[in-house]
């Protein structure tokens, strides 16, 4: 036994408690064991400063040469970024630390060594980072974004679960289109043609008539040929559907829901929002009621701003961005021209050329995060629309049936998770909002 071993032995009388970095405050003054990886390090001759990450957070470990066996000190000094390590030490409060605590390290066990981790603290290009997506989300900022995504999803689910909605899963493989036939991903279902779902809506409508209030949550697929910062080929959507509601009631649910989700992220994800450097004063303003503008008024706003726009067209991303300059919180654009919208939307009885639909646009240039509305509940009208849109009647037989058996006014909406994460985190592009983005020209990794 060397002299330094003796020192360690004397100090290690207290057994180490298993701990995670996110809960480290509970262990102030205690000796803990943290299982994780080496995020970064710097050394002076006498001290190794180890940035240790365990998945729940990052803590600085301070390893003083004379307080650990010399071999341990040397081993730590040459350890590469992302080596897997188990560290023991005592938790000390430190105001200068991001998380308010540091670890005085007294032992370190190396589980696996890494010496050529490709993502270094220097700047890398986007393509390089996307090629290394399987590693990239270990980086502090990406890591924080994924944690916010997880919280947003939990908040979405809790909102509906706590209010009497039934989770009603919709299928991924479908015989028919929901959102138009131009961007379907086709596949085969044995000998039949099939498509990856664009939206669970048609199915949750059946659910709403059975359970009153339902939601589905899952991946949806659109072969969007547009390379924009808000389009993915595979994205996640939460889609509530409610029997006996009209367009206005539908918007009231949406604003209550979005306020809840944003305020919950604000209260539970403070550290992450700080790492991402999000201006939270913008999110604090997300309080209902959200402004409502009719499509006609939105067109007027655009025209006043000198935009060349024809009544009847749908808004593109650039139009939405301009509209968002008018508002400090999310807002609705409602009653779009029916011609520009999906076949299932109910017409406004006051003006038959308009659909009883709404989009919710997020501020700060983000644009649409929700699409929804009231559904056509009359059998003959719906059949007419199916025919006008040249949809295969056979594939929609079941959907038409819903208008024969106990049809009622009903509606719902779909919130895109990735666009919501992009907005809440203040990101430039949706590619950073999902673990493995599926984009035009990229399906790797």
Query: Which residues bind to ligand NSS, rule: CB under 6 A?
Result: 178-179, 199, 201, 222, 224, 231-232, 235, 237, 239, 368-372, 412-414, 416, 418-419, 430
For ligand NSS, the closer of residues 54 and 320 by Cβ is 320
For ligand NSS, the closer of residues 155 and 275 by Cβ is 155
| Euclidean distance between CA atoms 63 and 40, whole angstroms | 14
Q: How long a stretch of residues is the chain? A: 445
Q: How far is the CB of 216 from ligand NSS (least distance, A)?
A: 8
For ligand NSS, the closer of residues 178 and 354 by Cβ is 178
Q: Closest Cα to residue 298, out of 280, 284, 319, 279?
A: 319
Q: How far is the CB of 240 from ligand NSS (least distance, A)?
A: 8
Q: How far is the CB of 186 from ligand NSS (least distance, A)?
A: 17
| Euclidean distance between CA atoms 357 and 347, whole angstroms | 9
Q: How far is the CB of 204 from ligand NSS (least distance, A)?
A: 7
Q: How far is the CB of 307 from ligand NSS (least distance, A)?
A: 21
| Euclidean distance between CA atoms 142 and 155, whole angstroms | 20
For ligand NSS, the closer of residues 39 and 332 by Cβ is 332
Q: How far is the CB of 370 from ligand NSS (least distance, A)?
A: 5
For ligand NSS, the closer of residues 61 and 437 by Cβ is 437
For ligand NSS, the closer of residues 142 and 199 by Cβ is 199
For ligand NSS, the closer of residues 124 and 157 by Cβ is 157
For ligand NSS, the closer of residues 223 and 383 by Cβ is 223
Q: How far is the CB of 298 from ligand NSS (least distance, A)?
A: 16
Q: How far is the CB of 284 from ligand NSS (least distance, A)?
A: 22
């Amino acid at each position: 036994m060397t002299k330094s071993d003796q020192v360690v032995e004397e100090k290690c009388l207290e057994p180490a408690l298993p701990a995670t970095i996110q809960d480290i405050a509970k262990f102030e003054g205690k000796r803990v064991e943290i299982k994780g990886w080496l995020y970064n390090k710097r050394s002076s001759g006498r001290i190794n400063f180890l940035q240790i990450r365990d998945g729940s957070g990052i803590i600085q470990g301070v390893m003083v040469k004379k307080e650990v066996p010399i071999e341990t000190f040397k081993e730590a000094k040459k350890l590469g970024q992302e080596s897997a390590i188990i560290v023991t030490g005592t938790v000390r409060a430190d105001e200068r630390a991001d998380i308010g605590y540091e670890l005085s390290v007294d032992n370190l066990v190396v589980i696996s060594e890494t010496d050529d981790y490709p993502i270094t603290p220097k700047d890398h290009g986007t393509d390089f980072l996307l090629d290394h997506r399987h590693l990239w989300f270990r980086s502090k900022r990406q890591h924080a974004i994924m944690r916010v995504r997880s919280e947003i999803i939990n908040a979405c689910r809790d909102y509906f679960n706590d209010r009497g909605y039934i989770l009603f899963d919709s299928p991924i493989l479908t015989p028919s289109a929901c959102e138009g036939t131009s961007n379907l991903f086709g596949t085969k279902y044995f000998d039949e043609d099939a498509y990856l779902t664009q939206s669970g809506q048609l199915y949750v409508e059946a659910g709403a008539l059975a359970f009153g209030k339902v939601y589905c949550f899952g991946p949806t697929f659109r072969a969007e040929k547009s390379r924009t910062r808000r389009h993915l080929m595979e994205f996640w959507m939460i889609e509530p559907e409610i029997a006996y509601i009209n367009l206005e009631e539908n918007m009231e649910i949406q604003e209550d829901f979005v306020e809840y989700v944003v305020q919950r992220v604000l209260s539970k994800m403070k550290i992450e929002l700080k790492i991402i450097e999000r201006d939270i004063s913008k999110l604090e303003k997300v309080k209902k009621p959200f402004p409502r503008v009719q499509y006609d008024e939105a067109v007027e706003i655009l025209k006043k701003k000198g935009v060349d726009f024809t009544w009847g067209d749908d808004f593109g991303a650039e139009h939405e961005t301009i509209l968002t300059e008018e508002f400090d919180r999310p807002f609705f654009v409602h009653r779009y021209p029916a011609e520009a919208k999906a076949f299932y939307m109910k017409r406004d009885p006051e003006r038959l050329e308009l659909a009883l639909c709404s989009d919710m646009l997020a501020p700060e240039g983000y644009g649409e995060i929700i699409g929804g509305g009231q559904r056509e509940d009359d059998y003959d009208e719906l059949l007419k629309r199916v025919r006008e849109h040249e949809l295969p009647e056979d594939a929609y037989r079941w959907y038409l049936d819903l208008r024969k058996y106990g049809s009622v006014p009903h509606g719902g909406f779909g919130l895109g998770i990735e666009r919501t994460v992009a907005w809440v985190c203040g990101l430039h592009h949706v590619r950073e909002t999902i673990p493995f983005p599926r984009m035009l020209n990229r399906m790797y990794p």
